Amino acid sequence: MPTDDQPSAGWLDGSQHLLPVRVYYEDTDFTGVVYHGAYVRFFERGRTDFLRLAGVSHAALLERPDPLAFAVTRLAIDFRRPARIDDALLVSTRYAAVRGPRLHIRQRLTRAADLIAEAEVEAVCIDLAGRARRPPADLVEALKRYFE
């Protein structure tokens, strides 16, 4: 149950993470339709909260003796239907695989039974100088049970 100091990070359902999001005025253009850039934020929240619930905190990754982060190197979004102000949406995230330094992620955004958008994401594990590196074994171990 979320509290004031611990807002909901969604939930894990098998190998996928589900995160409810609400469309606010700030997410829309002047017509009340979600601006295309807002979808990127919705998908980012889904990926981050998936990691959080899988036991991988971005803050903890930076505090490691071998600090690391992630950089998105590929993002392909297929827009299917418009989302609108006040819509209740659901972000579904699946971490498909880790290959070398790359994490492959599939995401969907739905409104009830309607598919709003789909995304294919490739994120690379990097050191703080921005060089690609393999994710450490403990990170892969925390995620591997969720891989498709």
Q: Which residues are catalytic?
A: 29
DSSP H/E element including 110: strand 102-111
CA distance 80 to 116: 5
Q: Who contacts 113 (Cβ-Cβ below 8 Å, separation ≥6)? A: none
Residues counted in the chain? 148
